[in-house]
Amino acid sequence: MEFGLSKNHKRNEMVQNRIKMALNWLDSRTTEELLNEPIGKKVISDGVELRFQSYDSRPYDDKMAYETHKDHIDIHYMIKGREYCRFADDGDAAPRSEYDAKEDIQYFDHPKQHGRVLLTDRHYAIFDPTDLHAAHGEVDGKPEHNRKLCVKISLY
């Protein structure tokens, strides 16, 4: 699945190739191989970084911030587990923080309207820089332990 405004689909060939390479890398591994990867960062190519995560999903409330980035695309890839990722267009929420150029992230309050997608085993969602997104959301009001990775695709 890919989420985004069609006007944002301006990916150049380099970025598109990085996305394809990352997804092909993931598809070439079994779930067990991915679960055995250590938690943390792993660079698999120039401009493609995997961030393996292990955490419990949490309630969707005011503590859950939305985020966006300027210099990279996020691919949220669920290895094993379930969570809701919420999304909205940027400009529809008040900033909660200043932009952090070192970490390439800015946090936002909840937007007026949002959509959500359910990530389950081996599913992904792609978020462009203009997509506000909030991940780690509980399903059916119950926390679950998730093993996921966030793929950082550099735009440069």
CA distance 119 to 79: 9
Q: Is the pLDDT at 3 greater than 70, yes or no?
A: no
Specify the amino acid at residue 20.
Answer: K
pLDDT of the residue at 1: 39
- Token pair belonging to 118: 């359910």
Q: Give me the mean pLDDT over the 113-139 stretch.
A: 94
Q: Is the pLDDT at 5 greater than 80, yes or no?
A: no
pLDDT of the residue at 11: 74
Domains in the chain (CATH in brackets) are: 6-154 (2.60.120.370)
pTM of the model: 0.91
CA distance 107 to 94: 9
**Is the Cα dihedral 32, 38, 40, 41 positive or negative?**
negative
- Can you tell me which residue has the tokens 């440069």? 156
Q: Where are the alpha helices (H) located in 36-102, listed in sequence order?
A: none
Q: Where are the alpha helices (H) located in the chain, listed in sequence order?
A: 13-27, 31-35
Sheet strand arrangement including 124-127: 40-45, 48-56, 145-154, 72-80, 124-127
- Token pair belonging to 50: 């995997």
- Token pair belonging to 84: 């809701």
pLDDT of the residue at 10: 63
pLDDT of the residue at 142: 92
pLDDT of the residue at 4: 56
| pLDDT tens string 49-105 | 999 999 999 999 989 999 999 999 999 999 999 999 999 987 779 999 999 999 999
Specify the amino acid at residue 7.
Answer: K
pLDDT of the residue at 84: 97
| pLDDT tens string 9-33 | 667 899 999 999 999 999 999 999 9
